[in-house]
Amino acid sequence: MLKQSFSLLHASRVKLDRKWNYRNVISPYYRLYFIDEGEGVVSGAGHELKLEAGFMYLVPSFTLCSLYCEEYLSQFFIQFFEESPDGASLFQHHRAPMKVQASPADSALFQRMLAINPGRGISGSDDPRAYEKSVYYRQCQELNNHQSTAAFLETQGIILQLLSRFLDAVDQYQPAERIPLKVLEAMRYIQLHLDQPVTIAQLAGRANLHPDYFSRRFLEHTGERPLAYLHTKRIERAQYLIASTELPYAQIAAETGFDNLPHFSRVFKKITGFTPGQYRKQDFR
40 and 153 in a single domain? The answer is yes
Question: For the segment 136-170, what is each residue's pLDDT rounded down to a tens digit?
Answer: 566 777 788 888 999 999 999 999 999 999 987 66
**Residue ending a domain, choose from 118, 139, 171:** 171
**What pLDDT is recorded for position 87?**
67
Domains held by the chain: number: 2
Rounded mean pLDDT for each run of 10 residues along the chain, 285 residues in total: 83 94 83 96 87 96 87 96 77 85 96 94 57 58 83 94 86 59 86 89 94 93 90 89 86 94 95 88 49
In a domain, residue 176? The reply is: no
Which domain range does residue 238 map to?
181-281
Residue 69 maps to which CATH number? 2.60.120.280
162 and 194 in a single domain? The answer is no
List Cβ neighbours of 205 (8 Å cut-off, separation of 6 or more): none
15 and 49 in a single domain? The answer is yes
Percentage above 90 pLDDT, the chain: 53
CA dihedral 49, 155, 15, 119 (to 10 degrees): -150
Strands 5-16 and 55-59, by their bridges, are unpaired
65 and 162 in a single domain? The answer is yes
Residue 222 maps to which CATH number? 1.10.10.60
Alpha-carbon distances, residue 127 vs 67, 70, 218, 265 (angstroms): 10, 16, 39, 26
pTM: 0.72
125 and 94 in a single domain? The answer is yes
70 and 141 in a single domain? The answer is yes
